[in-house]
Every structure is written in structure tokens, then in C-alpha cells.
Amino acid sequence: MAQIAEHDGIVTAVEEGKVKVQMHVVSACASCKAHDKCAFVDKAEKTVEVETTDWENYSIGDSVVVSVNESMGLLAVLLAYFIPAVLLVATVITFSRLHFSEGIVVLLTLAIVTVYYLILYLVRNRLQKNFSFRLEEK
């Protein structure tokens, strides 16, 4: 069975077919007794837009739980960080071995990574269908 990542949140906006939820996300070390004095604690306010058919049941200020399959998080990391890093390293190695100048290698590497992110942007609607959040009242 797939593991589920859950975060508590507050509804900030309700529109037809979707609900916006603001979540206070903290890193795992936030539960440490010394987290108040530690500079490594990662805290952030995140807003997600959850598509739902029962959007009428939610109103601004409601406490909710937003959940997502953890495998979707791994896919997001793969698409956003791992593949571009591999492209970057492969491009540098390939064009360096072809004896391009360093400046050209840098420009080609930036161009290839930029094209990759542009492609991700262009297919964002298709990808967004795979990254579905679930919303539950608290």
C-alpha cells in the first residue's frame, strides 16, 4: 500500500472546482527539543490548489488535511532536480570531451537545462493531472 504524506492546513480561498489551502510546513527536525535555538529548522508557508468536486463544502478558514501519495513527491523530485542534474553533468562531460571551449560548454549546458524546464512548463497541465492532492475536513 502506498504511503500518504499529510499536512494540516487552512482554507484561504474557494472557487468553482478548487480549494486553496495554506499549510505551515516544518521539517522533521522541528520536533527536536532544541529546534527553537537551531538554525537548521526549515519552516515555510505553502499554498496548494486542490481540485475537488465537493468544493461547496469548504469555506474560508476551515481546518483541513491535505494528503498526497509519497510516490508523487518522489516523482516531483526526479523531474525537478535529478533529471536536470544528470542533463547538466552529461552535457558538460560530452561537450568538454568534444573539445568545446569552456564558455561554449557553459552556454550549451544552460541552454539544454533551460529547454528541459521549458518542456516541463509546456506539459505542466498534463503533469498536474498526475499530482493530485486529496482534501479532508479536520
Exposure class string for 80-98: b at 16+ Cβ within 10 A, else e: eeeebeeeeeebbeebeee
Tell me if residue 29 falls in helix, strand or coil. Answer: helix
Find the mean pLDDT for residues 1-21: 83
Residue 133 has pLDDT above 60, yes or no: yes
The backbone torsions φ and ψ at residue 128, rounded to the nearest 5 degrees and listed phi first, read -60, -30
The 10 Å Cβ neighbour count of residue 136 is: 9
> What distance in Å separates the CA atoms of residue 67 and residue 52, rounded to the nearest whole number?
13
127, pLDDT greater than 90? no
Domains contained in the chain, number: 1
Residue 41 carries which DSSP code? -
Alpha-carbon gap, residue 55 to 9, rounded angstroms: 15
Q: Which residue range forms the structural domain that includes residue 102?
A: 4-137
Q: What is the pLDDT of residues 79-115, one digit of tens each?
A: 999 999 999 999 999 999 999 999 999 999 999 999 9
The pTM of the full predicted model, rounded to 2 decimals, is: 0.63
User: Of the ranges 31-35, 43-47, 95-99, 109-113, which one carries the lowest mean pLDDT score?
Assistant: 31-35
